[in-house]
Structure 1
Amino acid sequence: MPRAPIVEAVIDIRSHAAGTFEEAAVRQFLEPRLDGYEYLDTQRAVQHELTFEVTKPPRQMFKDLGLKGLRFRSADQKSIAQFNRDGFIHSRLEPYSDWTSFSGEGLRLWEIFKELVQPVEINRIGLRFISRIELPLSVARLEDYIKPAPETPRDLELPFVGFMHHDTLAVPGYPYAINLIRTIQPPQAETRANSGLILDIDVFTTQGFEIEETGLARILEEMRWLKNKAFFGSVTEKALEAFQ
């Protein structure tokens, strides 16, 4: 589509660092290699425990589990590259340009992550696209925009104020599954005057891969094909008219 309704696209690859993962060394390694990005922040893992005793008030304990990862942001502030101890995330906010640019940048950043942590196995690959289709203020028939449309209880014909539907689909014969969430986003006071139909599609792998055996570009292409089938199979022609 010339004007895709994608508000966020994410490549998420889970893979543990083989050696040490220390902030100063990680930042020193990454900054010269991330042309077009600047350091955003450092994230730490924290464990929260709440203890209850009969005769005493609850006690909260916070334990610092160490460095989780570092985030870098592109010059236009629309792309985030996150290098974690247990994986890599590349995300792009709207405007989304095209698959070639998005996946190509993700694969480039993944090669930097591999050089940094030298993982031996990929535990999970996820490709997630969140799309938002703006609904007219007067919309009364959700079936004009989404299929299958939600239905009210029998003999209770009332208008929908909102809904959320979550499906998980297996892909027989392939190591993939799909999480599909459909919901209504209410108007946002500062940015969105109308309600929006949200389609949150997460295609993910169901098994691990050896690094040497992984054709990551091919896997991402297959996952994108599944994402497109899930998206176009969930909306009507009328919903797509605004993006032609």
Structure 2
Amino acid sequence: MADIRKLARAPIREAVVEIRVPRLENPNALEILETLARDLGFEQVLQGFRFSADFSFGPLGLKGDDPREVPHGFKAVSDDHIIDLDLDAVRVIRLEPYSNWEELEGLVRQTWATYREALNPEKVVRIGVRYVNMIRIYPGGEVKDSFLGLPDAPPPWPQRVSSFLFRQTLHEDDIAVNVTHAMVDDVDEDRVGIVFDIDAFTQCELDPSSDTIWGTLAALRDLKNRIFFSGLTDAVIAEYE
């Protein structure tokens, strides 16, 4: 069992908690979302858009209009947080430097209560916890000396790696988790950066006021932590303590 503990210098680039609902049908929903976003008092409020297009079948096959931007919500942005209030979701994003789970969960609870009371969503259909970590290793080192759970190149293959992207989707009971490793080259001059992205989520049908939401978040966080601490060698983890 991995030794899960708080790291003094956790390598978290961003931590995301999402609570998703069926698309709101309230004709005033966008106006309400803008008011909620501005009431947060953050430095910026930005309107969010999604692309939409209409498709139909005709004599020549599938025909579609040019994609168009459709308003979908508002983002409140500060130096260390983004709160995304959408027609179908609440997302609370903590940027680096990461503080702690209690601070993040508290903000999620506060934001969700405000969203729920103002817009009365029908139900909660998806809950997710995603942590994007940036692990720095020295050039020329073996990736397997830092990470556990990655595939090895067979000996006949060249062994020097300059980039890679590896993703797997794992399941535990009703929870799924996407675990992604990707090498990047924009970290610093002395080290190579490897993104260690853990995205745990579950589909559900919950009452918006149910305490099960918070128990589910705790279970997702627990799985995320187990994957993080068992997916890195002790030597790497020690650098962030």
CA displacement 1:42-63 (0-9 Å, x = unmatched):
1233324699x9x9xx996234
Partner of 2:183: 184
CA distance in 1, matches of 2:110, 2:55: 42
The alignment's C-alpha RMSD in Å is 2.6
2:44 is the counterpart of 1:47: no
Partner of 2:213: 216
CA distance in 1, matches of 2:51, 2:37: 24
**SS state at 2:128 partner:** strand
Gapped runs of 5+ residues in structure 2?
Answer: 1-6
Partner of 2:148: 147
**SS state at 1:206 partner:** strand
Would you say how many aligned residue pairs link Structure 1 and Structure 2?
Answer: 231
CA distance in 2, matches of 1:144, 1:45: 41
- Counterpart amino acid of residue 31 in structure 1: R
Report how far residue 115 of structure 1 moved: 1.8
Percent sequence identity is 23
CA separation of 1:208 and 1:50: change in aligned 2, threshold 3 A: closer
Instruction: Answer yes or no: is the 8 Å Cα contact 1:67–1:85 preserved in 2.
Output: no
Instruction: Answer yes or no: is the 8 Å Cα contact 1:21–1:85 preserved in 2.
Output: no
Report how far residue 26 of structure 1 moved: 3.1
CA distance in 1, matches of 2:13, 2:182: 15
Tell me the TM-score normalized by structure 2: 0.85
CA displacement 1:59-87 (0-9 Å, x = unmatched):
962345x420001013xx11001111111
2:31 is the counterpart of 1:27: no
CA distance in 1, matches of 2:94, 2:138: 26
Gapped runs of 5+ residues in structure 1?
Answer: none
Tell me the TM-score normalized by structure 1: 0.84
Partner of 1:197: 194
CA distance in 2, matches of 1:137, 1:226: 30
